[in-house]
Amino acid sequence: MDNIIEMQAITKRFGPVIANREVNFSLRQGEVHALLGENGAGKTTLMRILYGLYHPDEGMIFVRQQAVRIHSPKDAIALGIGMVTQHFALVPTLSVAENVVLGFTGSFRLRYAEIEEQVAAAALRFGIDIDPSAIVGNLSVGQRQRVEILKALYRNAKVLILDEPTAVLTPQEVDALFETLRRLQKEGLSVVFITHKLDEVMAITDRVTVLRDGQVIETVETAHTSPSALARMMVGRETFGVSRRSSMEAGAPALQMVGLHALDDQNMPALKNINLTVRHGEILGIAGVGGNGQRELAETLSGVRPPTAGRILVGEHDVTGGSPADFTAAGVGRIPSDRHKGVVGELSVAENLTLERLMEFTKGMTLDRAAMLAYAEDLIAQFQIKARPTDPIRTLSGGNMQKVLLARVLARNPKVVIAPQPTRGLDIGATDYVREQLLAQRKRGAGVLLISEDLDEILALSDRIAVIYEGEIVGLLPAQEATAEQLGLMMAGAVKEEVNDV
């Protein structure tokens, strides 16, 4: 089989950091090739080089045996390379057709009827189900991804790079994506599939290239390898993941939501009649595809967003309508879902750790710096944060920043822990750490509300699982009885149950 793409000895540096070190990568005509590795292993960097978004410091790229220089996506597109990035490169205010033809119209004047016809014809030809006149901002994530794939194919892509395409999809959408890929593969399309999920590698790919710390560990045939072998190559150790369980007797209600309603930023209903109880010593997982009210739920439960109806009880204490300070005082601890918004980048680790309780670190009119530093030293040791108390927090890695946030919240021993997307964007090591901390909170007797779009995370950690869909809880079941398929159907809105858990 011929190699359609060959990248030889690619090295890319960002300042002192080496993102790719003498990477060799080849893509055969008509294969699906996984690029596997942890966050920061250099997978995306390598493909951004191939797509012309970065320029390599060293190394050569060959497309169909011809040495090429790819200066920009324009060059890549001309060579038949298309890329679907993790954050979709779509303009939400424009229609599907406008997005597809953007920069590829061929004439100065736009004739909308013709454009929509052409896009519809292309969609039909590639077997992609999408309405060309729909506004992209109104589409689901799965549909947007289809627009991205169509956009690449419309530009005559023969090589399609997909950057973690399944991260945001429901299981059903993943199945549909794989079906589309298999069909396109039969027609001769070559696919690079960036992922860190082993089951997907096994399910869809022909070969795997494993990257670790910017270097290629090995390229293997998928049929001749196993998930555990790949995991070993990827993380450099045999096992990973947290072990849950030792089932515990759930205690008294720690947090109750009674008939809770709330609006989103556009004043549209975001939460509809939520009735849930989080008990002491349990993790209640909220599963759901992003944008179904998770953010609003987390904000409502920490006092940032006032509910329009219903009550919130922390223990026996009614905190409905309270300020964030009232929620904190009542024993609610929230781990911010966006690390960068949860910290003040220019302030030091010690200052960030004490930010919410500065009253306890004042002497007269001034801050007691020595006490703040001592307190920070304590937490740094306790939570294994790799930083000094005086480091500006923006210099920390994502994992360490998340540890600081965990420390800040958990040091108060909250009765209720709200954890929206606590591991998003973290690598496997840091993810394990965060999950262990949540399990430790459960063991300590706190009620933990875990809101996550990662179904594996929900399944691994939760005692009970509730599914949120369009602002409603459409299912609630014990974790032992839950399967990914069943949850997936609920997350996609195919199955709905009345839930009243108060």
Partner 1 sequence: MDFIVSLSAATLRVATSILLAAIGETYTERAGVLNLGIEGTMFFGAFVGFYVADISGSLWSGLLAAIISGILAGLLMALFSVSFGVNQHVSGLGLTLLLSGLSLYAFRLRYGGLATPPSIEPFPQLRPFGDLPILGPLSEQYLLTYLTFLVIVPLAWWILYYTDFGLKLRAVGENPEAVDAAGVNVYAIRYAALAIGGGLMAAGGAFLSLAQLGAFTHGIVSGRGWVAIALVIFGNWDPFKVTLGSLIFGGTFALQLRLQAMGLQLPIPYETFLALPYLVTILALVLAGRNASYPAALLKPYRRE
What does the binding site for partner 1 look like in residue numbers (CB under 8 A)?
A: 51, 53-54, 72-78, 83, 85, 87-94, 98-99, 101-105, 107-110, 151, 155
Q: How would you classify the pairing of strands 362-363 and 366-367?
A: antiparallel
> Which phi and psi (to 5°) does residue 80 adopt?
85, 25
Q: Which residues contact 185 (CB under 8 A, 6 or more apart)?
A: 30, 31, 32, 191
- Least distance in angstroms from the C-beta of 148 to partner 1: 9
For every residue of 154-210, DSSP letters joined together read: HTT-SEEEEESTTTT--HHHHHHHHHHHHHHHHTT-EEEEEES-HHHHHHH-SEEEE
> Which phi and psi (to 5°) does residue 352 adopt?
-65, -35
Please say which residue, 137 or 188, places its beta carbon nearer to partner 1. Answer: 137
Please say which residue, 90 or 270, places its beta carbon nearer to partner 1. Answer: 90
| Joined tokens for residue 400 | 């360490």
- Least distance in angstroms from the C-beta of 155 to partner 1: 8
**Are the beta carbons of 171 and 455 closer than 8 angstroms?**
yes
Distances 198 to 107, 213, 382 between C-alpha atoms, Å? 45, 18, 32
- Least distance in angstroms from the C-beta of 285 to partner 1: 33
- Least distance in angstroms from the C-beta of 98 to partner 1: 6
CA nearest to 24, candidates 63, 54, 60: 60
For residues 452 and 470, what is the distance between their CA atoms, to the nearest angstrom? Answer: 15
Please say which residue, 77 or 313, places its beta carbon nearer to partner 1. Answer: 77
Please say which residue, 144 or 339, places its beta carbon nearer to partner 1. Answer: 144
Please say which residue, 85 or 256, places its beta carbon nearer to partner 1. Answer: 85
Q: Residue 318 forms beta bridges with which residues?
A: 313
**Are the beta carbons of 296 and 250 closer than 8 angstroms?**
no
Amino acid letter, 88: F
The DSSP H or E segment spanning 406 is helix 398-410
- Least distance in angstroms from the C-beta of 309 to partner 1: 25
- Least distance in angstroms from the C-beta of 91 to partner 1: 5
Please say which residue, 67 or 91, places its beta carbon nearer to partner 1. Answer: 91
Please say which residue, 76 or 211, places its beta carbon nearer to partner 1. Answer: 76
- Least distance in angstroms from the C-beta of 108 to partner 1: 5
Amino acid letter, 63: V
Please say which residue, 155 or 279, places its beta carbon nearer to partner 1. Answer: 155
- Least distance in angstroms from the C-beta of 100 to partner 1: 9
Q: Residue 262 forms beta bridges with which residues?
A: 271
Please say which residue, 78 or 120, places its beta carbon nearer to partner 1. Answer: 78
| Joined tokens for residue 27 | 């893509």
**Are the beta carbons of 416 and 317 closer than 8 angstroms?**
no
Please say which residue, 19 or 233, places its beta carbon nearer to partner 1. Answer: 19
Would you call 261 helix, strand, or coil by DSSP?
strand
Q: How many residues in the chain?
A: 502
For residues 387 and 349, what is the distance between their CA atoms, to the nearest angstrom? Answer: 8
> Which phi and psi (to 5°) does residue 501 adopt?
-115, 60
- Least distance in angstroms from the C-beta of 176 to partner 1: 23
CA nearest to 175, candidates 199, 151, 156, 153: 199
- Least distance in angstroms from the C-beta of 109 to partner 1: 6
